[in-house]
Amino acid sequence: MSTPVSLRGYRLADTADLRADVREFVAAELAERRWSARCDAWLLGWDPEFSQRLAARGWVGMAIPQEYGGRAAGALARFVVTEELLAAGAPVAAHWIADRQSAPQLLRFGTEQQRRLFLPEIAAGRMYTALGLSEPDSGSDLASVRTAATRVPGGWRVTGRKVWTSGAAHAHLLTALVRTTPLEPGTPRQAGLTQFLIDFDSPGVQVHPIRLINGEAHFAEVVLDDVFVADDRVLGTVGDGWRQVTAELAYERSGPERVLTTAPLLLAFLRDAARTGIAEPAALGRCLARLSTLRRMTASVAVELTARRTPELAAALAKDLGTRFEGEVAEVVRQCRTDQGGDEVSRLLREAILQSPGFTLRGGTTEVLRGVIAKGMGLR
Amino acid sequence: MRALAPAEHLGELEDAVDDLLGRHDVADPAARPALWRALSEAGFTLLSISERAGGSGGDLADAAAVLRRCGYAGLRLPLVETLLAAWLCEQAGRPIPEGMSACGVAEAGTAAQLTWAGTAADCVLLVHAEGAYSVSPATTVATAETTLAGEPVGTATAGPGAPTSVRAEELRLRGAVLRAAMLLGAAQRALDLAVQYSGERVQFGKPIRAFQAVGHLLAGCAGQVVATSVALDAALASLSDPGCDPERQEVAALVAVVEATHMAGRLAAATHQVHGAIGFTAEHPLHLSTTALWSWRDDYGNEFEWATRLARIATAHGREAWDLLAD
Ligand SMILES: Cc1cc2nc3c(=O)[nH]c(=O)nc-3n(C[C@H](O)[C@H](O)[C@H](O)COP(=O)(O)OP(=O)(O)OC[C@H]3O[C@@H](n4cnc5c(N)ncnc54)[C@H](O)[C@@H]3O)c2cc1C
């Protein structure tokens, strides 16, 4: 299109064997009743043993090179495994952020020592990370973060508060965005920020779990009180934190989890629909068409990312459409179901509705994404 | 996994079409016959029809590239109809029409409200009688009506035909996929006009694109257009792949036409909104795109019908429909 937004679909046919392997694994897990499907399982389904069983199959750290303990299976293989696990509603939350975000970041910006230390543990499904970006007064306006570090011999001392930190209660490492150069009038706010890798068991780190509306605590407030961070735990370059964080946004925004959070509900509904009937087939058909399109769009961004391009605009488009779709699924299932029984569909529907406010907030709100798209189209 | 990235030649093909269209006054109905001759001589009207049958060769992606650019330019000519007529004739082993053709499905031997019937030189009908289908040339009469897009309408009556294995649903879905390419072109044009205008029109002392509400509206349009484009590329690749399972082809085609027909009305409404009153006038070119969007989305079926058909197929597969929804 002449408006500068483009994305091409990908055909996933050649990965059918891998899909079948993952499905067989999932079926065996379900047969042994090790877990049951959940919506938003990449936030709600924290299960370290599952992560390790998955890793034993080679399905964690798939994009990590072999020299660091990974499988070097490539982004598309990872995409397929991720799609299948999300569709199944499998408990992938524990290793999620480490696998999706920290591993590529370490590969791109980390020191050799950091890579050797962390990547094999991530690939083994044993090491979990959390993202320390948001603060009480910094949400969409991320460059306003106030958590600050001062230079001390051999490292830094960090003080401040992070909030909404997913997985903080059980994760090992916090990737925190911190101000290392005090804000001077006239200098851009994006300058002077640095990313630190902070051990959750460092002295001065406190984690206060925060309950979601479903009553469960999956994110937390993280208080950093004069926490010492050694120089070898700086990620990338001091002062380059903003660029590094925005470079990772495409990973955070474009994955299948921005489309498939409620797929377990939709698939459970489809499984039953032949028996129960569908009240509004046209609404269901539209929803399925969009699912198909979004799967192709996210596959396409996954490929762009392997080519080391940063398809920021395409990722924002996919996330805007995808996360709105995730909420739509609950509405469409409500509209289409003909019985209201206490079955799995009801349970997943309830879960989808209660989780839905988060879909269009986390990882950049819909409004912020629309701004990114508008900018990419040359409108601002 | 294969990329559906366009072959290099598609870009060249699109440039050649743009070049040709640029030499004609596309909006002038009087210029239509000359424009058709030029398109036909360039071999653009019979792409995807084999050379053996008298077509120009190439595949559906080539045909769709031409249709997309013609849709972008606001063309009103029976490009889709002629392609369908030629395809029906090719399948039934009949000679293909030489010039413009109308095409449609006839129950009980006639097709009413058929676009281009009576205006195009030829008309080919897929006739449904006693559970079987045949392909028939038709006699036609134009009526005084036009479609929302201003295209002529007529009535067609089937003559003696040849049997065919093509069924009405197949023809209609193929027509809708080809039409989706034109819809995509029309939508891209409407969006480009709106983006451009939003930078030129000044209110409250600034270009209206500076208002976040306008930017978000246009960003939403871009998402719809990209979704249609991704879905259409996938459908064309699937339909052009002889090894592809017919049900998968049908699903890929349905996904594309659901996306395109759903997008059409939204793009028309949003791009008019951005243009204010000026876009509502006959002088402004926007309506060439928006009347096409409103009209073409109802050709061969509509979004509710396509979506229902997709839902029925998916439901028959239960949870395994997941596999049908991306290939
Ligand atoms: C489930 C969940 C998990 C999360 N996990 C993490 C995590 O692990 N780590 C982390 O750091 N953060 C996490 N977050 C936080 C998330 O990144 C923020 O919620 C998000 O960036 C928005 O910030 P906010 O909630 O402060 O909303 P605000 O930024 O205060 O926004 C409130 C409203 O104002 C709108 N708004 C704000 N600015 C603009 C603008 N310029 N134009 C138009 N509208 C605007 C927003 O779109 C929104 O509608 C998580 C959030 C959720 C819901």
pLDDT value of residue A13: 58
The answer to whether the CB of A144 is under 6 A from ligand 1 is: no
Q: Are the C-beta atoms of A257 and A359 separated by less than 8 Å?
A: no
Q: Which residue, among B192, B226, B320, would best test binding to A if mutated, counting the most A CBs under 10 Å from its CB?
A: B226
User: Is the CB of B4 less than 8 angstroms away from the CB of A274?
Assistant: no
A30 touches chain B (CB under 8 A): no
Residue B62 corresponds to which tokens in the numbers above? 């080539």
Which residues, at least 6 apart from A351, have a Cβ–Cβ distance to it below 8 Å?
A38, A39, A40, A44, A214, A265
Tell me whether residues A7 and B226 touch, CB distance under 8 A: yes
CA distance A19 to A42: 19
Tell me the mean pLDDT in the region B137-142: 96
CB atoms within 10 A of CB B199: 13
Q: For residue A280, give the nearest of B68, B142, B192, B315 by alpha carbon.
A: B315
Above pLDDT 90, what percent of chain B? 93
pLDDT at A3: 41
Q: Does domain A245-376 have CATH number 1.20.140.10?
A: yes
> Does the predicted model carry a pTM greater than 0.90?
yes
pLDDT of B5 higher than 50: no
User: What is the chain B residue with the closest CA to A3?
Assistant: B192
Mean pLDDT of chain B: 95
Distance of CA A339 from the midpoint of ligand 1 (Å): 36
| pLDDT attached to residue A1 | 37
CB contact under 8 A, A282 and B308: yes
A138 Cα: distance to centroid of ligand 1 (angstroms): 8
How far apart CA A30 and CA B84 sit, in angstroms, is: 49
Q: Hey, are the CB atoms on A291 and B191 less than 8 Å from each other?
A: no
Q: What is the pLDDT of residue B326?
A: 81
A338 lines ligand 1 (CB under 6 A): no
Phi and psi at A199, nearest 5°, equal -65, 130
The pLDDT of B23-35, averaged and rounded, is 93
A residues 303-322 lying closer than 8 A (beta carbon) to B: 303, 314, 317, 320-321
pLDDT band, residue B7 (cuts 50/70/90):
low
Neighbours of A211 (CB within 10 A): 10
Q: CA separation (Å) from B285 to A67, A379, B27?
A: 60, 21, 9
Topology agreement, domain A13-128 and domain A245-376: no
Are B229 and A1 an interchain contact pair (Cβ–Cβ within 8 Å)?
A: yes
Half-sphere exposure of A171 (CA within 13 A, CB side): 33
Regarding the beta carbon of A205 and ligand 1, being less than 6 Å apart is answered: no
- Contact call for residues B222 and A5 (beta carbons, < 8 A): yes
Q: Is the pLDDT of residue B4 over 50?
A: no
Locate B211 and state its tokens.
């208002």
CB within 8 Å: A267 and B322: yes
Conformation bin of residue A9: beta by default, left when phi > 0, alpha when psi is -120 to 50: beta
Question: Looking at this predicted complex, what is its ipTM?
Answer: 0.93
Q: A131-240: which CATH topology?
A: Butyryl-CoA Dehydrogenase, subunit A; domain 2 (2.40.110)
- Say whether B1 and A284 touch across the interface (CB within 8 A): no
Class in CATH terms, A13-128:
mainly alpha
Contact residues on chain B for A301, CB-CB shorter than 8 A: none
Contacts of A217 (CB under 8 A, 6+ apart): A169, A209, A210, A211
The domain ranges of chain A are 13-128, 131-240, 245-376
Residue A10 pLDDT: 56
% residues pLDDT > 70 (chain B): 97
Check B212 against A371: CB less than 8 A apart.
yes
Output the pLDDT for position A4.
38
Taking chain A (380 residues) in consecutive chunks of 10 residues, what is each chunk's mean pLDDT? 47 78 97 97 98 97 95 89 97 97 95 98 98 97 97 98 98 98 92 98 98 95 98 98 88 89 97 91 98 92 73 88 98 91 88 96 94 91
Closest Cα in chain A, distance from residue B90 (Å) = 29
| Contact map slice: A 113-172 vs B, CB within 8 A | none
Q: Strand A129-132 to strand A205-211: parallel, antiparallel, or no bridges (unpaired)?
A: unpaired
* Beta strand spans in chain B (E): 2-3, 101-107, 110-115, 122-129, 132-146, 152-158, 162-164, 202-203, 206-207
Count the alpha carbons within 13 Å of B243 in the hemisphere toward its beta carbon.
2
Residue A111 Cα to ligand 1 middle (Å): 31
Which residues, listed in sequence order, are joined to residue A161 by a DSSP beta bridge? A223
Locus of tokens 């409108």: A379
Determine if ligand 1 sits within 6 Å of the CB of residue A137.
no
Q: Work out how many CB contacts closer than 8 A connect A with B.
A: 193
User: Which of A348, A373, A379 is the best mutation test for B, with the most CBs of B within 10 A?
Assistant: A379
Question: Which among A22, A293, A300, A377 is the top mutation candidate for probing chain B, defined by the most B β-carbons within 10 Å of its own β-carbon?
Answer: A293
Render pLDDT for B102-118 as a digit per residue (tens, 0 to 9).
999 998 899 999 999 99
Residue A131 Cβ < 6 Å to ligand 1: yes
